[in-house]
Chains A and B, each alone.
Chain A
Amino acid sequence: MALSKAPNESLFSTDLVITLVDHFWERYYSAIFMRCFIPYVIYFATAIYYVSNYTVEGIDPEDRWAMTPEFFMRWVILVSVFYFAFFEFVCVLRDGLTYFTDVFNYVDWGAFVLNVWLLYATSAY
């Protein structure tokens, strides 16, 4: 039985379990921080700036492929969406139907779809 599903919570107060949890948590924390959190901060900041400044007004059609900040942000957002969508696919395969019980997963997919659509609507004419 997995430790996380152990019926007796007092197991978690034993020295052995505390040491194991601390050890694995530090390892996973570091991996999550570098591979997920930092990329998300970049994705978040870029998407918020892009949507707040470009999507409502739109861009000049002639600037669609010009080397402007908007152009670079567009690609950062697109790559980020696929990067995080990959993680979500892995989660779907791992969790099965329980994946759909977490409301944050709907938030993720909602943001992915909307961001891709907004990139398209802003830059394509």
Chain B
Amino acid sequence: MAAVSVFLMWIKSFYWMRLFTDTSFYVRLIRETLYDIRYFLILFIFILMTFGNTLMVIAEGRDKGAAGAEGGLYKDIFSIRFLNVVFNQYMLSLGEFDLDNYEGEGSDALVWTVFIATTFITQITFLNMLIAIMGDTFARVSEVKD
């Protein structure tokens, strides 16, 4: 509760930044950016679930007992398998490659194929699309400012 309280207080400080010309531009930019990426985020979550679910099924067929969750392909953080794999894919999209347990018994080629597809589609394609959308928003908001 205390953590939520301080979080809300800090968030509210962004509201007050709208009072000053120099900072209000950035507050508007953040708000517009979050608004513009709303549909993209749905696709992003879906692609995380797509590869996450694939990885989850592959992991079930691998050796148990390796470090982390089933088959050692992802860590058990949320105690819910699906959330664990989605989180794993999110970290993978940010460049956090936890490859220690990728070489297990069987399905190695499949695991690495999923890894390559994930990094190419999620990390390279999707995140660059996100930056492109943000660039468009920045251009539009700057135009209004001028």
Contacts and interface: CB of A to CB of B under 8 A. Distances in A.
Size range of the chain A interface in the assembly: 20 to 34
A58 to B, nearest CB: 11
A78 interface: no
A108 interface: yes
A100 to B, nearest CB: 16
Given A29-B19, A33-B19, A117 B9 contact: no
A7 interface: no
Say what secondary structure dominates the interface of chain A: helix
Given A29-B19, A33-B19, A47 B1 contact: no
B6 interface: yes
Interface in B1-36: 1-2, 4-6, 8-13, 15-16, 19
A89 interface: no
Interface stretch (A15-23, A48-56, A59-67): A48-56
Contacts of B13: 44
Given A32-B19, A33-B19, A37-B19, A56 B2 contact: yes
Contacts of A51: 2, 5-6, 9
A110 B4 contact: yes
Given A51-B6, A107-B11, A107-B12, A114 B19 contact: no
Given A33-B19, A52-B2, 20 more contacts: A37-B19, A40-B16, A44-B12, A47-B5, A48-B9, A48-B10, A51-B5, A51-B6, A51-B9, A55-B2, A55-B5, A104-B12, A104-B15, A107-B12, A111-B8, A114-B5, A114-B8, A115-B5, A115-B9, A117-B1
